[in-house]
Amino acid sequence: MLFNLRNLLNAATLRKSSKQLVQHFRSGQPTQTNVNLKGRDLLTLQSYTAEEIKYLLWTASDLKQRIKDKGEYLPLLQGKSLAMIFEKRSTRTRLSTETGFALLGGHPCFLTTQDIHLGINESLTDTARVLSSMTNAVLARVYKQSDLDLLAKEASIPIVNGLSDSYHPIQILADYLTLQEHYGYLKGLTISWIGDGNNVLNSILMSAAKFGMHLRVATPKGFEPDPNVVKVAEEYSKEYSTKLFFTTDPLEAASGANVLVTDTWISMGQEEEKAKRLKAFQGYQITMQTGKHAASDWTFLHCLPRKPEEVNDEVFYSPRSLAFQEAENRKWTIMAVMVSLLTDYSPQLQKPTF
């Protein structure tokens, strides 16, 4: 009986210490920032200011250093759950979100089309309200951006865009963190996009100028980005005094660029267009020859999965390629998003230079 009593007392002491530890990490130390993202949605980077995006990157850098480099335990999301709705398959989005949310003490719930059919067996409105009553946030990887917009309208919890046909904001956060880590800054860099005018490019167009980055875009005729997105990007370019250039010539787009970026030429749902697209994108493969037109310090990004026709092995596996660091940073940036939208945590470490 004495042994059992000691065990109970030890367990109670451990629970108390654990609770104090969680409370300490939830509050953190105050930092000099006016940014507060708690309760917000993340549907597109257009709705986030330059300072708010920088804050997300700062938080990602902070978490990466504290958890990965220093080995700290930060149960910032203990007691919280995340609904993960995936209409499209994924490696990086699923793995980074599941492992990242769990690493912070939370419980991610993965839902496929076998578990939930948005707007089919239950309306989006009803789905949003049910999920709001059972979870703390939703990350949805969907086809239609309008589905995300309706979920955000009807839900009382944060909705995060895990990818749609229109935007891929969480990918771009990882890209920017990777470039900041490599170059030590973002302002003044020139990004060259060589490929399809897709959701990833749209997200770059909605955000690059906010960091003072210049953008040069090459897409084949008929595969240009959304004109409405381009119009907003042109306004940002004027507001932040950056350069924005469009062409159909990959080498012209690469001229003087610090970063060469491409993506899949055939996105999910476009499989029937494969032959047409492969023909249209001839000459768009990124090679070392492409790099000869870029700045001497050029690097390469690709959000993956990658096909050899998009970038050859010589570039993809070279020291200039940051693709795998970029992939890892998907984890630290989605962790930063969740922590920022769900808690009062503030970064503890020094703010990086952007």
> Is the separation of the CB atoms in 296 and 260 below 8 Å?
no
Told to judge if 303 belongs to the known catalytic residues of this protein, a careful annotator would answer: yes
Active site residue 109: no
Give the sheet arrangement for strand 81-86, strand by strand. 107-112, 81-86, 137-141, 159-163
Pairing of strands 137-141, 214-218: unpaired
Quickly list DSSP for 64-101: IIIIIIT-----TTTT-EEEEEESS--SHHHHHHHHHH
Question: Could you give the angle at which helices 323-342 and 50-63 cross, rounded to 10 degrees?
Answer: 110
**Chain length of the chain:** 354
Strand ranges (DSSP E) for the chain?
81-86, 107-112, 137-141, 159-163, 190-194, 214-218, 244-247, 259-262, 299-302
Q: Which of 263, 297, 313, 344 is catalytic?
A: 263
CA separation for the pair 48, 282 (Å, rounded): 36
* Long-range contacts from 271-277, C-beta under 8 angstroms, 24+ separation: 277/196, 277/223
- Rounded CA-CA distance 304/261 in Å is 11
109, 149, 303, 313: the catalytic one is 303
List the structure tokens of 56.
Answer: 């997300």
Beta bridge partners of 301: 261
Residue where the block lists tokens 């990157």:
57
Query: Rg of the chain's alpha carbons, rounded to an integer?
Result: 22
From 283, 272, 165, select the one nearest 221 (Cα to Cα): 283
Nearest-angstrom CA–CA distance, 265 and 156: 36
User: What are the distances in angstroms from CA 309 to CA 223, 322, 325, 344?
Assistant: 17, 18, 21, 45
Closest CA to 65 of 347, 353, 354: 347
Q: Which residues form the catalytic set?
A: 263, 303
